[in-house]
């Protein structure tokens, strides 16, 4: 008599997506689709140079263009204390430049006009005079005494350094190295990459002078954080601010930061007394918004000759661009970089980190990275790969020796994380079997005789997802819990709202599945809404794969609160005491008499028409969830490639992904996340990066230079599943959205390195473009991805 | 038949405009437009058909793909005036009020979309493919869609969606025969 | 994303189009496929005062072979017409191979062969095939038609030899006397990318001997590289390991690549050599199979 959970769209069902119904009809509502009466359009003028003193900005000709309503400059913003705004890393960022340009593409002025064509015409008429300064394009020349100080707007900023940071046990680690038989070293650059969702950022700000209310439609993955930030910056009280994140055309972290365009559009609306729409173009998005990576990763591991790792040390040098605007937990200056090596049993580790300002767009933590875990795991698996070779040991065997074993959980890593579950060895075994590892060496030798270079690369990792517990995690002081509010109506249908914000992950589909699982209400009877701060309970948004771990948990918790109340109502309806009530999916029944029961829908109706004395009517509640720990999914990614020695072009022959993300709410959606992430991993390994020339010009500010793979280049992926439930999550689920992006790149790179191993080359920096692979083959030397520089 | 002067897109009275008639999703529309107005903006702002999306500035991404006289076209790289006398089909013209086009169904069945932004363009490019090649191989599908970028799906399910639709359409053809 | 204003005309005859160009004094540009011009106008890299749209002029959308084997390509022949041709793989294998490598499948429905030549992008695929095939462009102006050898047609990057009041109405490829053989290889990092290096080879075979050899390169110089002289070392020879190596070396020497983020000059030169070798080896192998 219990309902069939799959039939009602509960957990484990590959329920087809609710959001698809509007997207496949072209009825999605993205920010640029929203039209408000009287709306004006805003275009931003961006700098063409990377580093310069501003001598003058002449906007007079722009004002003359018919249809122009307002032209804003930094000076006008400064008069209202809005030329600078705080960042999520306790720094400040220019909204519109006043004294200096600090990166190519920085915002200089904004034109607000009747339509965007006119606004662009007017932008073209603004005349800016610069006095150019030397451009700093990497953190090494940022340290050169002859190079200028970029942040001369700040007091107590005598150099271009942003921070020094350290974690771990230096003494113990040094000791491990002293005892080692073999020490392996690696030196990598993880290049600057950009999330580049298909939809660019934008906002529509609408200040209503009559009511004093500011409504902003915005491409934001975290609308509640934005509401708080706008309250601080614009000095409009928080209850008079409404942020609406409608449909988002992808996020991947790019839509977490608060961009100057949003702030300018708000002021423009206040000044013009009209709604103002700002939609950036792809160049604006690539050249100025939140990017990921751009870190130099240097490290060593100390080993015994039997392959046991004794210790690990790592030094990172990160390039933050012109403003320190990373969106990450406050305590950790380099994000969760110290999650590196978490899947291996290592007794001692030490990490030091330096960050620098450069003349580039601000950011570093905004690309499906789980707060720099992409860098941590790339370093880890590239280091492991090199070390196995140094030892003369098989790649899989070396990992197996050092992976945390199943019976070691809960396991405290050398950097203090607590991993709680996993079957690492099993995942690796499934992957090795699927790729045909046992016969590969033979295959590789035979192919080499025919002049073909084959290679296999392995990447195994566990990563910290679901930030995070309030003891350790906050963003500008706000704790990283999340929330869910569930209202069950009298006919048994429901509406659920959460503090998360889906950008394609399918929350409208999956959250309903959790409620179906907990309450037996068919998922089709539950509508899910996110993104409107006037109606959604407070949450910290969706990024860093935190939503299933945190918001998903809140959904389960609120559904359980509802069920607990319904139980009381059921007892009342069945005229027994609560202790005699049992639950099966969708109904309560009397213990010992399963036939006698009431459905959850019966209880819902009764909540409004027949509650017991002493119980409040209604069947609505909310939950705020502070996760006790992060969740720890595990993945084994194995890639087989063929390298064309004559051109350096490499093709993926096979790619196997084994993911263990605990209980899967919707297997179809989980697989979609993995394939999307693997494609981004492939892109970064193969073709996708932002670089700079010596003058500080950004190469990668449009899709002709910033290469995303098409359906033609992108390989197919073979997916496998292992399930180790999360012991602390209410439904046993772990995060998954970013695993493939985090663990994937090393699999591709290790495979190519394996194919060209006979040259002795230790490292080719990503992206492994044909010319770099060819160079490695020809010279036998490492190939660095550091951009060319000019020290002047 | 719609009236002769349906829409005026342009701002000022003294800006030269051109009268064009375009058949959009089977309906003839007559409008006065500035020559520089891009077709994608005519669709999105002029006609409020916001299903066609604008993604990039280098004719690279294909989010703006429509069918132009039945052939796929990036609507950001055509001036609206050039569409005078031609037929344009957008995602809003796919299927009907009561029934989805098999391609739309396929995308839903096979999880061929996540954020939905590239989807209208992908579906229309797929439609053009299947009209010429009702039984494509996986490679042929990937090749035909190599002008449309997707950031979310990794393409594998998009390919499955198109093959699902192709099979359904072939079955329907066979039933009718 | 938003072009500046321009005047627009859509003439119905060539005569009208030429008259408009003539009256404009050089401020008007021809709009055919628009897949190269419109992106430039959108980014305001080009701001012509007038665009003359020739898409409504009938009789320009042809690819046809004259009885004597001359191939004539009209101004409105689209890239995809080449990709979907049933006969081109046999009559003009160099063109057939390049057809599916131009831009991407959607751009190919609209962009034109002749327009691409006029655009004169140093990395343009069609320009390289035309130079290898010894083609020419027919220009029509107020004083009638004239023919311009493709090698004199491009003056520099994005600059061609048309007078301001001339339209390129046709591209012409001379007949092949023997059996046509050839191909086009392009190193692009992904579909739609410009070439890191690309090679067009067009041979005219008399049995197993090379009667005529043409070769041109894209992406390895500030303009399309004319490597016809270099590959002429093959003329009168059969294709064997020695002659192929000599030809590949000569062509690689003719390249003039620059070091940039796509690779070093040496690398690009090496890719040229590799591609020439592969194309010639393929021709030699298919000959052997045929024999």
Q: How far apart are CA C53 and CA B85, in angstroms?
A: 14
Q: How far apart are CA A476 and CA A88, in angstroms?
A: 6
B18–chain C Cβ distance below 8 A for any pair: yes
Q: What part of B 117-176 touches A (C-beta under 8 Å)? A: 117-120, 123, 141-143, 145-159
Q: How far apart are CA A711 and CA B138, in angstroms?
A: 10
Q: What per-residue confidence (pLDDT) applies to A792?
A: 54
Mean pLDDT of the C189-201 span = 96
Known active-site residue A221: yes
Do A663 and A735 contact (CB within 8 A), yes or no? no
Q: How far apart are CA C124 and CA C98, in angstroms?
A: 11
From residue A550, give the alpha-carbon distance in Å to each of A484, A509, A733, A734: 10, 17, 10, 9
Residue B50 has pLDDT above 60, yes or no: yes
For residues B72 and B126, state if they share a domain.
no
Of the residues B32, B64, B93, the one at which a domain ends: B93
For residues B12 and B89, state if they share a domain.
yes
Q: Min CA distance, C45 vs chain A (Å)?
A: 12
For residues B38 and B74, state if they share a domain.
yes
C6–chain A Cβ distance below 8 A for any pair: no
For residues B89 and B7, state if they share a domain.
yes
Q: How far apart are CA A205 and CA A216, in angstroms?
A: 4
User: Which CATH number do you get for residue B142?
Assistant: 1.10.150.120
Q: Min CA distance, A432 vs chain B (Å)?
A: 22
Q: Which residues of B touch C105 (CB under 8 A)?
A: 72, 125, 143-147
If DSSP codes are grouped into helix, strand and coil, which group holds residue C138?
Answer: strand
Instruction: Give the burial class of A172: count Cβ atoms within 10 A of its Cβ; 0-12 exposed, 13-18 middle, 19 or more buried.
Output: middle
Q: How far apart are CA A116 and CA A279, in angstroms?
A: 9
Output DSSP code: residue C5. P
Within a domain: B115: yes
Output DSSP code: residue A9. T
Mean pLDDT of the C39-46 span = 96
The structure tokens 């919707």 sit at A666
Q: How far apart are CA C267 and CA A650, in angstroms?
A: 16
Within a domain: B177: no
Q: What per-residue confidence (pLDDT) applies to B82?
A: 98
For residues B85 and B123, state if they share a domain.
no
Number of inter-chain CB pairs under 8 A, A vs B: 179
b vs e for C82-104, b when ≥16 Cβ sit within 10 Å of the residue's Cβ?
Answer: bbebeebeebbbbbbbbbbbbbb
Of the residues B62, B93, B124, the one at which a domain ends: B93
Residue B9 has pLDDT above 60, yes or no: no
Phi/psi region, residue A437 (left: phi>0; alpha: psi -120 to 50; beta: rest), is alpha
Residue B2 has pLDDT above 60, yes or no: no
Do C81 and C40 contact (CB within 8 A), yes or no? no
The shortest CB-CB distance from A646 to any of C44, C192, C274 is to: C274
B16–chain A Cβ distance below 8 A for any pair: no
Within a domain: B58: yes
- Which tokens sit at C88? 């081109």
Strand duo A587-590 + B87-89: pairing: unpaired
Residue spans of alpha helices (H) in chain C: 14-24, 37-42, 79-83, 88-91, 93-99, 113-119, 125-133, 150-153, 228-231, 241-254, 265-290
Residue of A nearest to B94 (CA): A25
For residues B8 and B89, state if they share a domain.
yes
Q: What per-residue confidence (pLDDT) applies to B7?
A: 38
**pLDDT digits over A699-742, tens only?**
999 999 999 999 999 999 999 999 999 999 999 999 999 999 99
For residues B9 and B78, state if they share a domain.
yes
Is 0.95 exceeded by the ipTM?
yes
The shortest CB-CB distance from C267 to any of A116, A707, A774 is to: A774
Q: Which residues of A touch C189 (CB under 8 A)?
A: 686-687, 707, 769-770
Q: Do B72 and C109 touch (CB under 8 A)?
A: yes
Q: What per-residue confidence (pLDDT) applies to B3?
A: 26
Within a domain: B40: yes
Number of inter-chain CB pairs under 8 A, A vs C: 60
For residues B110 and B166, state if they share a domain.
yes
Of the residues B59, B93, B127, the one at which a domain ends: B93
Residue partners of C66: CB distance under 8 A and separation at least 6: C72, C175
**pLDDT digits over A575-612, tens only?**
999 999 999 999 999 999 999 999 999 999 999 999 99
Within a domain: B46: yes
Hey, what domains does chain A have and what are their CATH numbers?
A: 20-27+482-625 (3.30.365.10), 38-135+202-253+255-288 (3.90.1170.50), 292-467+629-779 (3.30.365.10)
Nearest to A351 by CA among A341, A338, A339: A338
Average pLDDT taken over every residue of chain C? 96
Strand duo A593-599 + A587-590: pairing: antiparallel
Q: Which residues of C touch A774 (CB under 8 A)?
A: 263, 267, 270
**pLDDT digits over A72-85, tens only?**
999 999 999 999 99
For residues B113 and B87, state if they share a domain.
no
Residue of C nearest to B82 (CA): C53
Q: Which residues of chain A have pLDDT under 50?
A: none
For residues B89 and B106, state if they share a domain.
no
Which range of residues forms the domain containing residue B68?
2-93
Residue partners of A14: CB distance under 8 A and separation at least 6: A666, A667, A668, A669
User: Which CATH number do you get for residue B74?
Assistant: 3.10.20.30
Total number of domains in chain B:
2
For residues B50 and B81, state if they share a domain.
yes
Nearest to A213 by CA among A187, A231, A229: A231
If DSSP codes are grouped into helix, strand and coil, which group holds residue A53?
Answer: strand
Residue partners of B100: CB distance under 8 A and separation at least 6: A24, B94, B108
Q: How far apart are CA B134 and CA B145, in angstroms?
A: 15
Residue B8 has pLDDT above 50, yes or no: no
Q: How far apart are CA C7 and CA C48, in angstroms?
A: 9
Q: What per-residue confidence (pLDDT) applies to B5?
A: 32
**pLDDT digits over B106-157, tens only?**
999 999 999 999 999 999 999 999 999 999 999 999 999 999 999 999 999 9
A692–chain C Cβ distance below 8 A for any pair: no
B81–chain A Cβ distance below 8 A for any pair: no
Q: What per-residue confidence (pLDDT) applies to A791?
A: 66
Known active-site residue A368: yes
Q: What part of A 656-685 touches B (C-beta under 8 Å)? A: 668-669, 671-672, 675-680
Within a domain: B80: yes
Q: What per-residue confidence (pLDDT) applies to B87?
A: 98
For residues B74 and B9, state if they share a domain.
yes
Tell whether the torsion through CA atoms of A774, A775, A781 and A783 is positive or negative.
negative
Within a domain: B42: yes
Within a domain: B63: yes
Q: How far apart are CA A451 and CA A449, in angstroms?
A: 5
SS3 annotation, A614-676: CCCCCCEEEEEECCCCCECCEEEEEEEEEECCCCCCEEEEEEEEEEECECCCCHHHHHHHHHH
């Amino acid at each position: 008599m219990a309902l069939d959970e799959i039939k009602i769209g509960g957990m484990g069902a590959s329920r087809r997506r609710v959001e698809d119904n509007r997207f496949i009809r072209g009825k999605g509502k993205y920010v640029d689709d929203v039209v408000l009466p009287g709306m004006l359009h805003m275009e931003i003028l961006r700098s063409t140079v990377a580093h310069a003193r501003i001598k003058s900005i002449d906007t007079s000709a722009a004002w003359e263009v018919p249809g122009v309503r307002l032209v804003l400059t930094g000076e006008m913003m400064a008069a209202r204390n809005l030329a600078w705004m705080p960042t999520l890393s306790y720094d400040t960022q220019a909204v519109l430049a006043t004294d200096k340009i600090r990166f190519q593409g920085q915002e200089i002025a904004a034109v607000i006009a009747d339509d965007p064509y006119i606004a662009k015409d007017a932008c073209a008429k603004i005349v800016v005079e610069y006095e150019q300064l030397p451009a700093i394009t990497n953190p090494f020349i940022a340290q050169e005494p002859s190079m200028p100080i970029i942040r001369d707007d700040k007091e107590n900023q005598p150099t271009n350094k942003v921070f020094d940071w350290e974690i771990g046990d230096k003494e113990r680690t040094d000791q491990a190295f002293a005892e080692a038989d073999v020490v392996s070293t690696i030196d990598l650059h993880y290049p600057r990459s950009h999330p580049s969702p298909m939809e660019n950022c934008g906002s529509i700000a609408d200040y209503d002078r009559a009511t004093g209310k500011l409504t902003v439609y915005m491409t934001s993955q975290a609308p509640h954080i934005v509401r708080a930030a706008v309250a601080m910056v614009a000095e409009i009280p928080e209850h008079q601010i409404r942020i609406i994140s409608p449909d988002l055309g992808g996020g991947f972290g790019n839509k977490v930061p608060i961009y100057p365009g949003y702030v300018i559009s708000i002021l423009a609306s206040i000044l013009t007394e009209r709604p103002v729409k700002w939609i950036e173009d792809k160049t604006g998005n690539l050249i100025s918004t939140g990017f990921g990576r751009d870190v130099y990763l240097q490290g060593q591991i100390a080993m015994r000759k039997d392959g046991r790792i004794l210790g690990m040390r790592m030094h990172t040098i990160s390039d933050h661009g012109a403003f320190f605007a990373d969106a990450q937990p406050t305590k950790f200056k380099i994000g969760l970089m110290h999650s590196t090596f978490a899947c291996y049993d290592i007794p001692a580790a030490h990490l030091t980190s330096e960050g620098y300002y450069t003349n580039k767009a601000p950011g570093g933590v905004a690309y499906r990275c789980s707060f720099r875990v992409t860098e941590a795991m790339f370093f880890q698996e590239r280091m492991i790969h090199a070390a196995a070779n140094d030892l003369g040991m098989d790649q899989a065997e070396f990992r197996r020796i050092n992976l945390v074993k199943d019976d070691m959980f809960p396991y405290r890593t050398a950097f203090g994380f607590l991993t709680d579950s996993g079957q690492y060895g099993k995942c690796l075994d499934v992957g090795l079997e699927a790729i045909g590892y046992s016969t590969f060496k033979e295959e590789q030798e035979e192919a080499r005789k025919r002049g073909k270079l084959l290679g296999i690369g392995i990447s195994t990792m566990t990563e910290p997802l679901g930030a995070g517990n309030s003891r350790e995690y906050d963003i500008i002081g706000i704790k990283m819990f999340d929330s869910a509010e569930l209202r069950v109506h009298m006919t048994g249908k429901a509406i659920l709202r959460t503090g998360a914000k889906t950008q394609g992950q399918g929350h409208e589909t999956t959250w309903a599945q959790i409620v179906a699982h907990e309450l037996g209400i068919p998922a089709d009877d539950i509508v899910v809404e996110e993104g409107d701060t006037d109606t959604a309970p407070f949450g910290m948004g969706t990024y860093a794969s935190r939503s299933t771990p945190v918001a998903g948990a809140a959904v389960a918790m609120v559904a359980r609160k509802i069920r607990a109340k319904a139980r009381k109502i059921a007892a009342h309806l069945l005229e027994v005491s609560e202790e005699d009530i049992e639950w099966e999916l969708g109904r309560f029944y009397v213990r010992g008499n399963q036939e006698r029961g009431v459905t959850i829908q019966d209880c819902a109706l009764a909540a409004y028409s027949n509650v017991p004395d002493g119980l409040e009517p209604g069947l609505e509640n909310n939950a705020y969830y502070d996760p006790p720990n992060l969740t720890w999914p595990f993945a084994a990614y194995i890639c087989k490639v063929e390298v064309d020695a004559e051109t350096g072009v490499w093709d993926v022959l096979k790619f196997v992904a084994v993911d263990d993300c605990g209980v899967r709410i919707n297997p179809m959606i989980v697989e979609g996340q993995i394939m999307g992430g693997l494609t981004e991993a492939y892109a970064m390994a193969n073709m996708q990066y932002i670089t700079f020339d010596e003058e500080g010009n950004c190469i990668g500010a449009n899709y002709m230079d910033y290469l995303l793979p098409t359906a033609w280049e992108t390989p197919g992926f073979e997916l496998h599943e292992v399930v180790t439930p999360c012991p602390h999550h209410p439904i046993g689920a772990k995060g998954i959205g970013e695993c493939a992006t985090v663990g994937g790149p090393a699999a591709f790179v290790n495979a190519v390195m394996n194919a060209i191993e006979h040259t002795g080359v230790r490292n080719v920096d990503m992206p492994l473009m044909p010319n770099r692979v060819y160079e490695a083959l020809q010279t036998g030397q490492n190939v660095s991805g550091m951009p060319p520089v000019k020290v002047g | 038949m719609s009236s002769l002067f349906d829409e005026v897109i342009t701002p000022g009275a003294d800006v030269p405009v051109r009268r064009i008639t375009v058949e959009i999703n089977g309906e003839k529309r007559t409008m006065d437009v500035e020559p520089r107005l891009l077709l994608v903006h005519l669709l999105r702002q002029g006609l409020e058909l916001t299903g066609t999306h604008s993604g990039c500035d280098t004719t690279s991404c294909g989010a703006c793909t429509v069918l132009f006289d039945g052939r796929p076209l990036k609507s950001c790289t055509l001036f609206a005036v050039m569409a005078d006398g031609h037929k344009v089909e957008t995602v809003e013209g796919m299927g009907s009020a009561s029934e989805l086009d098999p391609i739309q169904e396929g995308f839903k069945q096979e999880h061929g979309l996540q954020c939905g932004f590239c989807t209208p363009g992908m579906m229309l490019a797929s439609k053009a493919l299947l009209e010429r090649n009702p039984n494509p191989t996986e490679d042929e599908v990937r090749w035909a869609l190599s002008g449309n970028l997707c950031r979310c799906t990794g393409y594998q399910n998009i390919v499955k969606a198109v093959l699902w639709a192709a099979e359904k359409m072939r079955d329907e053809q066979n039933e009718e025969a | 994303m938003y072009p500046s204003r321009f005047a627009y005309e859509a003439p119905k005859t060539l005569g009208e189009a030429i008259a408009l160009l003539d009256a404009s004094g050089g401020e008007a540009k021809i709009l055919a496929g628009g897949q190269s011009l419109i992106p430039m106008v959108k980014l305001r890299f080009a701001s012509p005062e007038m665009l003359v749209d020739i898409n409504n002029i009938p009789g320009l959308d042809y690819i046809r072979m004259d009885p004597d084997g001359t191939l004539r390509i009209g101004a409105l022949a689209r890239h995809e017409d080449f990709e979907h041709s049933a006969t081109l793989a046999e009559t003009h294998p160099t063109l057939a191979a390049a057809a599916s490598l131009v831009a991407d499948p959607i751009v190919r429905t609209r962009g034109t062969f002749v327009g691409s030549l006029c655009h004169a992008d140093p990395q343009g695929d069609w320009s390289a095939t035309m130079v290898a095939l010894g083609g020419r462009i027919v220009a029509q102006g107020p004083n009638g038609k004239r023919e311009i050898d493709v090698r004199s047609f491009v003056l520099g990057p994005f600059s061609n030899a048309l007078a301001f009041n001339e339209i390129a109405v046709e591209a012409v490829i001379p007949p092949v006397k023997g059996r046509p053989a050839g191909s086009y290889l392009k190193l692009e990092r992904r579909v739609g990318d410009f070439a890191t290096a690309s090679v067009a080879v067009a041979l005219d075979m008399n049995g197993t001997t090379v009667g005529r050899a043409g070769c041109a390169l894209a992406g390895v110089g500030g303009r399309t590289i004319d490597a016809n002289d270099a590959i002429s070392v093959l003329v009168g020879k059969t294709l064997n390991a020695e002659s192929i190596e000599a030809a590949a070396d000569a062509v690689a020497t003719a390249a003039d690549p620059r070091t940039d983020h796509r690779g070093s000059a040496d690398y690009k030169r090496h890719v040229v050599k590799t591609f020439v070798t592969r194309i010639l080896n393929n021709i030699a192998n298919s000959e052997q199979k045929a024999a």
